[in-house]
């Protein structure tokens, strides 16, 4: 029937029980949400070879596709100032490595704030792919961006064209992230770079909170560490250039309301308190050091698998922890 499950990062079949978090999807289905913590679609297993964590049982493509095409959330529109601030910071990092401010592709661009900021910063061409009808039409109609409503990895795009391909909060949702990296390799221009932002499951916060970590949510199927994302990238011919923490700027109200995922009364009381103190709309970029970005250069040769007896060494030269 199904193939032998393997580690999505290194390919090892040695996956061991790690967190018991299987639960119901809830009456909202698979809507991307950050207000339910400690529940996933199945239990989480950990790779004994490289430390990568992933769901023991991956949801079907059909399950995921229908869920994401219906996705709509006001959070990321209401939080426009924070999203744009985060995008500007990340573009500045990408520009240090990209060959030029040429063509940039945002796979899973949501409403398009990063592309809008790239346009402001002088990138010549900005293209986005977004499966959500709500988010992609917002990008086109409100921000006049070239954003197409399509599947992230099957949309028709020119090969060898993009100086930068960005995936913000995408790769942890993919049952087969290696196929996504192979596709990105074909899209990159010579010297082009890929940028990823994702939760860091090897961070101290993630390890301390375990199943109660706020990134353990029904739509996350991969739990990368700095080592396991590097392993996956290198297997697919990428050279990791930079890895660092990636705090997200949001309003105080947004963060406090997330606490409702643990305790509704506590979260609501904190939001009321912040509103009363008139700090609710202040921007805040707390760095829990549990979210990372990785910039990698494409162009190398893929290797089918990599035997590792040890987790990746911590002293990787590209592993700068600067934030
Ligand atoms: Zn592994």
Q: What share of the chain is helix, strand, coil (3-state, %, to 5)?
A: 30, 20, 45
Residue 311: per-residue pLDDT:
40
Closest CA relative to residue 218, chosen from 86, 40, 11, 24: 40
Strands 44-47 and 15-19, bridge-based pairing: antiparallel
Q: How far is the CA of 288 from the centre of ligand 1 (A)?
A: 25
* CA dist., res. 16 & res. 298, Å (int): 32
Token output for 39: 């529940």
pLDDT in tens, 151-195: 888 899 999 999 999 999 889 988 899 999 999 999 999 999 999
Determine contact, residues 259/40, Cβ cutoff 8 Å.
no
Residue 22: per-residue pLDDT:
74
Average pLDDT over residues 51-65: 81
Residue 233: per-residue pLDDT:
97
Q: How far is the CA of 108 from the centre of ligand 1 (A)?
A: 25
Average pLDDT over residues 42-54: 93
* CA dist., res. 30 & res. 40, Å (int): 10
Residue 214: per-residue pLDDT:
75
Cα dist from 16 to 117, 153, 176, whole Å = 43, 30, 19
pLDDT in tens, 253-262: 555 555 555 5
Determine contact, residues 172/114, Cβ cutoff 8 Å.
no
Average pLDDT over residues 13-31: 70
* CA dist., res. 128 & res. 149, Å (int): 9
Q: How far is the CA of 221 from the centre of ligand 1 (A)?
A: 14
Average pLDDT over residues 215-241: 92
* CA dist., res. 47 & res. 227, Å (int): 12
Phi and psi at residue 59, to the nearest 5°:
-70, 160
Determine contact, residues 128/106, Cβ cutoff 8 Å.
yes
Q: How far is the CA of 222 from the centre of ligand 1 (A)?
A: 11
pLDDT in tens, 83-131: 898 899 999 999 999 999 999 999 999 899 999 999 999 999 999 999 8
Q: How far is the CA of 76 from the centre of ligand 1 (A)?
A: 33
Residue 307: per-residue pLDDT:
41
Residue 302: per-residue pLDDT:
63
* CA dist., res. 179 & res. 188, Å (int): 15
Average pLDDT, the chain: 79
Token output for 249: 């700027």
Q: How far is the CA of 11 from the centre of ligand 1 (A)?
A: 6
CB atoms inside a 10 Å sphere around CB 275: 14
Between 313 and 114, the more confident residue is 114
Q: How far is the CA of 241 from the centre of ligand 1 (A)?
A: 21
Token output for 260: 């409702």
Q: How far is the CA of 212 from the centre of ligand 1 (A)?
A: 23
Q: How far is the CA of 72 from the centre of ligand 1 (A)?
A: 33
Helix (H) or strand (E) segment spanning residue 190: strand 188-199
Q: How far is the CA of 25 from the centre of ligand 1 (A)?
A: 27
User: Quick check: pTM over 0.85?
Assistant: no
* CA dist., res. 183 & res. 29, Å (int): 29
Q: How far is the CA of 9 from the centre of ligand 1 (A)?
A: 5
* 155: DSSP letter: S
Instruction: Name the 3-class secondary structure at 47.
Output: strand
Determine contact, residues 117/92, Cβ cutoff 8 Å.
no
Q: How far is the CA of 224 from the centre of ligand 1 (A)?
A: 10
Residue 284: per-residue pLDDT:
53
Q: How far is the CA of 77 from the centre of ligand 1 (A)?
A: 36
Beta partners for residue 283, in sequence order: 251
Q: Model confidence at 23, in pLDDT bands (50, 70, 90)?
A: low
End-to-end CA distance of the chain, in Å?
A: 45
* CA dist., res. 102 & res. 114, Å (int): 15
Q: Which residues lie closer than 8 Å to 105 by C-beta, 6 or more apart?
A: 127, 128, 129, 157, 162, 164, 165, 166, 187
Q: How far is the CA of 48 from the centre of ligand 1 (A)?
A: 7
Closest CA relative to residue 212, chosen from 284, 273, 290: 290
């Amino acid at each position: 029937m199904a193939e032998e499950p393997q580690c999505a990062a290194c390919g090892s079949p040695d996956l061991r029980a790690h967190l018991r978090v299987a639960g119901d999807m809830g009456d909202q289905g698979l809507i991307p949400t950050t207000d339910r913590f400690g529940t996933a679609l199945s239990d989480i297993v950990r790779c004994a070879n490289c430390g990568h964590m992933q769901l023991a049982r991956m949801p079907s493509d059909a399950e995921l596709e229908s869920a994401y095409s219906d996705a709509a959330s006001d959070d990321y529109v209401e939080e426009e100032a924070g999203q744009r601030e985060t995008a500007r910071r990340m573009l500045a990092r990408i520009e240090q490595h990209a060959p030029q401010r040429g063509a940039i592709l945002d796979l899973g661009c949501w409403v398009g704030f990063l592309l809008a900021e790239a346009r402001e910063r002088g990138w010549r061409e900005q293209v986005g792919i977004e499966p959500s009808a709500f988010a992609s039409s917002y990008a086109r109609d409100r921000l006049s961006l070239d954003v197409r409503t399509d599947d992230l990895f099957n949309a028709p795009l020119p090969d060898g064209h993009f100086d930068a391909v960005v995936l913000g909060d995408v790769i942890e949702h993919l049952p087969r992230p290696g196929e996504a990296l192979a596709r990105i390799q074909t899209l990159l221009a010579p010297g082009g770079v890929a940028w990823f932002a994702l939760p860091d499951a090897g961070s101290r916060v993630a390890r301390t909170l375990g199943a109660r970590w706020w990134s353990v949510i029904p739509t996350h199927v991969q739990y990368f560490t700095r080592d396991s994302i590097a392993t996956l990238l290198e297997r697919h011919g990428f050279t990791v250039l930079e890895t660092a923490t990636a705090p997200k700027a949001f309003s105080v109200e947004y963060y406090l309301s997330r606490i409702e995922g643990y305790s509704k009364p506590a979260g609501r009381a904190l939001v009321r308190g912040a509103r009363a103190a008139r700090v609710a709309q202040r921007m805040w970029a707390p760095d829990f050091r549990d979210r990372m970005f990785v910039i990698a250069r494409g162009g190398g040769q893929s290797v089918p698998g990599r035997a590792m007896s040890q987790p990746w060494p911590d002293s990787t030269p590209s592993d700068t922890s600067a934030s």
